[in-house]
Amino acid sequence: MPFPKQEYIVSVSQYLNKQYGHQYYIWNLSEHDYTRELFLNQVSMHSYIGFACPPLYELLLICKSILDWIQHQGNVAIIHCQQNKGRSAILLSIFWSLVFKVSIDESFYIIAKAIGLKSPLKSQLMYIHKYLHHLLTNGQLNTQIIKVKSVILSGIPKQFQNLKPLFQVLDRKGILYEEKNQIIQKNEQCIFILPNLQISNDVVFKCKHITPENDLLPIFRFQIHTGFLFKNIIRFKINDLDSQQHFDNDIYIDLVYLRGNNNLDDSDKLNYDQQSLEGYQMIKQLLNTCQMMSLNIKLDLFQENNIFQEYQQPIQQQQKQEQLEEVTENNQRKKTQQEKENQQIVQNQSKQEDINEKLQDKVISQNENQNNDDEDEIII
């Protein structure tokens, strides 16, 4: 289902309430809320501002809640994000993989084709093909502490003479780190030195350019999960980044970090190891729960996929009627304009005929006067 915009939210809610009553539930993965009362308060809001992908643990939690909901006969699960593509595709891919016992890569291909997703974000592709593929094939998760040392951008966008970056690191709770004091000239590296920033779970790194008018232009964004970091450096090429700017093909970003807890005292080591292990176990346990619940699910492929078509049909008919009326109005306007032009032509022709007639009369009158003058001369 698409995001219920203001112009048709009433039509959507009326259709769902009439068709399914209290047997439907909506999972909203967008960054925008709406009037949930219209949907009988059967809406769960999951906002991840700045994140290309919902955090891993919450993805599994949502999967669990969907699986629990649809185990009851007649219940309908509805998922949407802002554009009904990226975040929804990731969630549905995990769900599809669990229920139909296929790989996450195959699931993503099926879902993307079904919803018309042609250009997913690079962060979303990495999440699917690396992180979720690793997790769903029983891959182990990193439980060591991660401390970010630096982020290195090897060059700036082609069209910029200099770059004034606003660099931010965010987790689910908000901004962890921010820097905006550098000015990077063309052909220079941009290095962000972080004070051993400790991160965990899903983290977003993003950079924007501060223009002279203090506008912000997106430069790059990437999202990682610390459970899948097994080296001390990750290199992102341009094709790995969410970017709206044009870079040279050889530009890259290095994320440099430390793994391990060597700088912690014994009590902190024990606490951190315990927290990491518990976090890892929670993810694995939640995944196992989802896998067990999916065994009892029986679905017809996209049985309810006509919801959007059904409730949008009157809207489409209205839009077609409005388009038809607009075309008719334009044609009528053109016809009226043509009639005016034709009328003007007729008027101009009539005026010209009047002028010609007057000129002819004038010539005749002059000739008559000349004849009279000649006759007078003869008489004399």
Residues 94 and 178 in one domain: no
Tell me which of 232, 259, 286 is where a domain ends.
Answer: 259
Q: Is residue 264 scored above 60 in pLDDT?
A: no
pLDDT tens, residue by residue, 176-228: 999 998 899 888 889 999 988 999 899 999 999 999 999 999 999 999 999 99
Looking at the DSSP bridge assignments, the partners of residue 29 are none
| Alpha helix (H) residue ranges in the chain | 9-20, 56-70, 86-100, 104-115, 122-126, 133-136, 266-294, 307-379
In a domain, 131, yes or no: yes
Average pLDDT over residues 223-248: 89
CATH at residue 167: 2.60.40.1110
Give percent above pLDDT 70 in the chain. 80
Are the beta carbons of 90 and 48 closer than 8 angstroms? no
Same domain for 130 and 174? no
Mean pLDDT of the chain: 81
Q: Is residue 17 domain-shared with residue 101, that is, in the same domain?
A: yes
One domain for residues 247 and 232: yes
**Coil, strand or helix at 7:** coil
Neighbours of 180 (CB within 10 A): 12
Within-domain flag for 375: no
- 95-102 own/partner pairs: CB under 8 Å, 24+ apart: 95/63, 95/66, 95/67, 97/136, 98/63, 98/67, 98/290, 98/291, 98/294, 99/294, 99/297, 99/299
How far apart (Å, rounded) are the C-alpha atoms in residues 124 and 130?
10
324 domain-assigned: no
Look at residue 148 in the predicted model and tell me its pLDDT. Answer: 95
Q: In whole angstroms, how far apart are CA 17 and each of 46, 62, 104, 109? A: 22, 22, 33, 32
| pLDDT > 50? residue 307 | no
Residue type, 285: Q
Q: Which of 120-129, 189-198, 269-278 has the lowest mean pLDDT?
A: 269-278
* Span 78-117, pLDDT tens digits: 998 887 668 889 999 999 998 888 899 999 998 888 888 8
Q: How confident is the model at residue 28 (pLDDT cuts 50, 70, 90)?
A: very high
Residue 175 shares a structural domain with residue 54: no
- Tell me, yes or no, whether 134 and 162 share the same domain: no
- Residue 196 inside a domain? The answer is yes
Asked whether residue 156 is domain-assigned, the answer is yes
CA distance 255 to 123: 15
CATH code for the domain of 33: 3.90.190.10
Instruction: Note down the domain range covering 173.
Output: 146-259
Let me know if residue 252 belongs to a domain. Answer: yes
DSSP state of 155: -
Summarize pLDDT for 324-366 with one digit per residue, the tens: 777 777 777 777 777 777 777 767 777 677 777 766 766 666 6
Helix 307-379 and helix 9-20: axis angle, to 10°?
Answer: 140
Same domain, 22 and 135: yes
pLDDT exceeds 70 at position 282 = yes
Average pLDDT over residues 59-85: 88
- pLDDT of 311: 46
Whether 264 is in a domain gets the answer no
Question: What pLDDT, on a 0 to 100 scale, did the predictor assign at position 50?
Answer: 85
Model pLDDT, residue 163: 92
Q: Do 130 and 153 lie in a common domain?
A: no
Are 134 and 283 contained in the same domain? yes
Tell me which of 268 and 114 has the higher pLDDT: 114
In the structure, what pLDDT confidence band is assigned to residue 377 with cuts at 50, 70 and 90? very low
What pLDDT is stored for residue 133 in this prediction? 92
Answer yes or no: is pLDDT of 297 > 60.
yes
Least confident of 13-22, 114-123, 249-258: 114-123
State the Cα–Cα distance between residues 209 and 215, nearest whole angstrom.
8
Of the chain, the percentage scoring pLDDT greater than 90 comes to 34
As a whole number, mean pLDDT of residues 230-257 equals 89
What does the block give as tokens for 265? 């005292």
| Of 58, 98, 105, 102, nearest in space to 283 by CA | 58
Number of domains in the chain: 2
pLDDT of 375 higher than 50 = no
Question: Does residue 141 surpass a pLDDT of 60?
Answer: yes
| 45, 215 contact by CB (below 8 A) | no
Residue 114 has a pLDDT of 84
Q: 134 with 156, same domain?
A: no
**154 and 301 assigned to the same domain:** no
> What is the spatial order of strands in the sheet that 24-28 belongs to?
43-45, 24-28, 76-80
* Residue 345: inside a domain: no
67 and 182 fall within a common domain: no
pLDDT given for residue 26 in this prediction: 94
